[in-house]
Amino acid sequence: MGGCFSSNQDANDAKQLPKKDYWEKGSYPHHPSILISDEFKFGDNLDHKGITFTKDVETAHGVVQFSFRELATATKNFCIESFMGEGDFGCVYKGRLERSGQVVSVQHRHRTCDQGIIEFFKEVIKLSLFHHANLVNLIGYCAYGDHLLLVHEFVPLGSLKDHLHDLLPDQKPLDWNTRMKIAVGVARGLEYLHKTSNPPVVYRDLKPSNILLDEGYHPKLSNFKLGKHTPFDNITSFPSFRVDGTYTHCAPEGPIIFDSDVYSFGLIFLELITGRKVIDYTRPYEEQCLVYWARPLLKDRKKYAEMADPLLEGRYPPERLKEALVVAAMCIQEGIAARPDIRSVVAALTYIASSTYDPNA
């Protein structure tokens, strides 16, 4: 399949993958430039000597090598009914694995997405190293001819963007306790990437659409951008301001260091508190940029109540609101040195979220 289905396409116009083109030769064909086999190796020229992508490595890292047939079956041949949306690298489909019955998310990348087979396998290895409750888990992969697929756990409640900025008419807004729960989870996911993962990782693309919500509104970071043009052993180093992340959520210095993620988190936290988008051209000119609107108000604690999302209808603890806005203000400081470490952010938010709001009290 060369392109992605548009969400506006009529189902009758959707073209399914022709089985005969992909299934006749078995699980893995001989690619013109590389053989996908148990002996596939990364050479010394790829900056990480001694890594051999074999079944032993797959077992050690907990990823599964799926056949294209299995993923096509899981997604009903990548039909329009399974289509969930289009990401940065390709289309995403919902599927159910026959082997286990597990519901999964299948990201289908065509080789025209400017990612070669070597970069794809490097990404699989890197993603397989991350295991945390607040990260979307990689289950497996498939490399079949020109088709590269990543299989992740399915996160059922959609994105934070869906629940914060794209509410349906009959959909209830997030309450205060849920917003704080989401903020803590996102911060913990970043803390893992910055402080625990080996190697440490700058997330670089924190935005509401990349924060997925599991049952109970448990947040998980998705859509990692692991620096496909950077060395494997130095994936946190970005010498130039090439915006791989989303411009609206980038720090002034660009998405290049851990402190940049803290700035982006501050914007997300402000969105959770205020209900406003980072950029909203439907608002008056002086209110279109969340940061420029918020900074003057953050200097006057008497105006903090004006910043709370009107959809909360006053149902929040005033003292916790003030504390939350102080944390957000610290995170969005223009000066890198003035921003808190993500570990300090987690500690502060854990305290704030521990004081749950009871509207009936």
Residues labelled catalytic:
205
Residues forming beta bridges with residue 100, ordered by sequence position: none
State the Cα–Cα distance between residues 136 and 139, nearest whole angstrom: 9
Work out the angle at residue 252's Cα, subtended by the Cα atoms of residues 196 and 211, and round it to the nearest 5 degrees.
50
**Distance, CA of 35 to chain centre:** 31
Q: Which two tokens stand for residue 122?
A: 């490097």
State the Cα–Cα distance between residues 118 and 338, nearest whole angstrom: 39
Contact 349, 184 (CB under 8 A): yes
Q: Is 219 helix (H, G, I), strand (E, B) or coil?
A: strand
Beta pairing class for 138-144 and 64-65: parallel
Work out the angle at residue 46's Cα, subtended by the Cα atoms of residues 107 and 151, and round it to the nearest 5 degrees.
15
Q: Residue type for 176, please?
A: W
Q: Which two tokens stand for residue 222?
A: 């998705």
Q: Residue type for 233, please?
A: D
Distances (CA, A) of 69 to 25, 26, 47, 273: 11, 8, 33, 45
Q: Residue type for 275, please?
A: G
Give the chain's radius of gyration (CA, Å): 22
State the Cα–Cα distance between residues 347 and 160, nearest whole angstrom: 22
Q: Which two tokens stand for residue 260?
A: 């940049």
Contact 260, 202 (CB under 8 A): yes
